[in-house]
Amino acid sequence: MTRYFFEISYKGKNYHGWQRQANSVSVQETIESCFSKLYSNK
């Protein structure tokens, strides 16, 4: 099994908190979206 390590940093100015929010963009939502595109599944 291949294991990966990702170190992520971000500027939080354009986000509304870490956890997924119903009416605004969050860090979690953005990271999940990027990984979903990278690995082509959801």
Q: What is the rounded average pLDDT for all residues in the chain?
A: 87
Alpha-carbon distance of 31 to 8, in angstroms, equals 9
Per DSSP, 34 falls in state H
Tokens of 32: 């999940």
Q: What is the pLDDT of residue 3?
A: 92
Give this prediction's pTM: 0.65
Q: Please give the single-letter amino acid code of residue 34.
A: C
| 21 token code pair | 């929010």
- CB proximity list for 16: less than 8 A, separation 6 or greater: 24, 25, 26
Residue that wins the pLDDT comparison between 42 and 33: 33
